[in-house]
Amino acid sequence: MSNTSKTLTPRSAAADDPTAAPVAVVDPRLLVREEGLKGYVTEFRRKIKGGELGSLPVVIGLVVIWAIFQLQNDRFLSADNLANISYYLSATGMLAIGLVFVLLLGEIDLSVGSVSGLASTLFAVFVADQGLNAWLALALTIITGILIGALHGWFFARIGVPAFVVTLAGFLGWNGLMLWLLGDSGTINIPSDSGPVHLLGQSSFFMDQAIIGAYLLAGLGVVLSLVGNVNEQRRRKAANVPFRPTGEILLRVLLLALVSFAAAAVLNNSAGVSNALVIFLACLITMDFVLRRTTYGRKVFAVGGGTEAARRAGISVPMIRISVFAIAGGFAAVGGMFFAGQTASATLSAGGGNTLMLAIAAAVIGGTSLFGGRGSVWSALLGMLVIQSIQTGLDLLNMNTSIQYMITGGVLLGAVVIDSVSRRSQKAAGRA
């Protein structure tokens, strides 16, 4: 494809006047390349008018939330408080990663909170009661979560039971099993020095080696981003399709470097980078690669965009559905291990309370559509930053939990409204 505009004759003009002059239609990607900064501004306006908002609303919302809480309490943006936000968002964030896959199909999984609580309880039983090796117990726990999710997906995909009903039954059933395993005490303490619990606790390698670890991780992220963008540019050049110019790639990588090293510097002024945050970010990068760079990821988006069209394209819709719920179950189990690492115990509150609602809210607030077919695993990070910032900010202001629920609910409603309006705008622009 040459980097020149193509001239097409719109169907309506040709029908009204066969002698009508052709109308120039410019590929917006080529417009960006040809007009430089003006092209980027034009493309940005086109996306806004067409409802392609991306992560812009949640980023603006996060900035506003941080500004409001900082004005109310100058400790909000302190290194210690930001380190706490980064640590405690990871557990629920793991649940949100799995939910993103389910939401991409336009479905819902109400069982992830109970599965995470059951996972932490199973790990505690394996290690504290049965004396099993901690790492083997971790593997068994995660496998159990995957099998539970696959079971939900099988009932949905093969039997035809609505996902809402299947996972609601799972929410009740797995919560009951957790209560039965915990017994009358309601708590099973886990040795804090057991491998996974120590790994996910607030004491970690990256905290002990804060300065080295934080900057190494920031540098690694920047290098991986640069390599990934350059490789994509090379592939698109070879395929003779529009590609990002080198200047844009360098600008993107520079911005990432500024954010990454600034975050590392802030966390270094506190306890450093927690293992929980590192593992959470590693999972985000991995699953983002799965969704955007693999055949499987494209199949997930295809099924979410239209089941019948995906089936006619030769995609095994039942297998995609089962695998997606298995992923959600696996990440719910991992999230349960994060909860266990935070308290070195399995308790009645693990995965309970508002954990499920916050995980769903995080995925939706972060930009994943409830209607399916559109979203990113980075929604889990953005959404959890918003939710955890609200929780922490209200705690600093000594406000009641009820206020937190009301504000979070309002933010969630706003995110769904934006999503709905965005989809309507895309339909009007012919891009749905």
Which tens digit of pLDDT belongs to each residue from 317-336? 999 999 999 999 999 999 99
Would you tell me the crossing angle of helices 401-428 and 355-365 to the nearest 10 degrees?
A: 40
pLDDT band at 166 (very low <50, low <70, confident <90, very high): very high
The neighbouring-strand residues paired with 346 are 188
* CA–CA gap between residue 23 and residue 421 (Å, rounded): 30
Tokens of 260: 């990454």
pLDDT at 10: 42
3-state secondary structure of 91: helix
Tokens of 380: 């889990």
Where would I find the H helices in 191-209? 195-200, 205-208
Q: What is the mean pLDDT of the chain?
A: 82
Which tens digit of pLDDT belongs to each residue from 377-413? 998 999 999 889 988 988 888 887 778 778 878 877 8
Q: Is 272 left (phi over 0), alpha (psi -120 to 50) or beta?
A: left
Which tens digit of pLDDT belongs to each residue from 137-148? 999 999 999 999
pLDDT at 45: 66
Give the strand pairing for 23-25 and 6-8: antiparallel
Taking only Cα atoms into account, the Rg of the chain, rounded to an integer number of angstroms, comes to 24
Counting residues of the chain whose pLDDT is more than 90, the rounded percentage is: 33
CA dihedral 365, 97, 278, 396 (to 10 degrees): 40
pLDDT at 333: 95
- Strand (E) positions, 147-277? 187-189
Contact 370, 103 (CB under 8 A): yes
Contact 361, 408 (CB under 8 A): yes
Contact 280, 94 (CB under 8 A): yes
Please compute the mean of the pLDDT values over residues 224-241 and round it to a whole number. Answer: 84
Write the CB contacts of 4 (distance below 8 Å, at least 6 apart in sequence). 30
* CA–CA gap between residue 56 and residue 295 (Å, rounded): 28
Q: DSSP secondary structure string, 208-220? A: HTHHHHHHHHHHH
pLDDT at 8: 40
Please compute the mean of the pLDDT values over residues 204-219 and round it to a whole number. Answer: 66
* CA–CA gap between residue 323 and residue 295 (Å, rounded): 14
pLDDT band at 48 (very low <50, low <70, confident <90, very high): low
Which of 80-89, 174-183, 206-215 is predicted with the least confidence, judged by mean pLDDT? 206-215
Claim: this prediction has a pTM higher than 0.95: no
pLDDT at 429: 55
* CA–CA gap between residue 318 and residue 109 (Å, rounded): 16
pLDDT at 4: 40
Distances (CA, A) of 180 to 58, 118, 122, 186: 40, 10, 11, 9
Please check the confidence at residue 112 and state whether its pLDDT lies above 60: yes
Counting residues of the chain whose pLDDT is more than 70, the rounded percentage is: 82
Write the CB contacts of 209 (distance below 8 Å, at least 6 apart in sequence). 272
Write the CB contacts of 330 (distance below 8 Å, at least 6 apart in sequence). 98, 142, 145, 146, 149
* CA–CA gap between residue 318 and residue 310 (Å, rounded): 11
pLDDT at 171: 94
Tokens of 163: 């996902």
Which of 23-27, 300-304, 316-320, 344-348 is predicted with the least confidence, judged by mean pLDDT? 23-27
Residue type, 385: L
Tokens of 388: 């955890």
Which tens digit of pLDDT belongs to each residue from 247-300? 878 888 899 889 888 888 888 887 778 888 889 999 999 999 999 889 999 999
Contact 47, 64 (CB under 8 A): no
Which of 23-32, 208-217, 219-228 is predicted with the least confidence, judged by mean pLDDT? 23-32
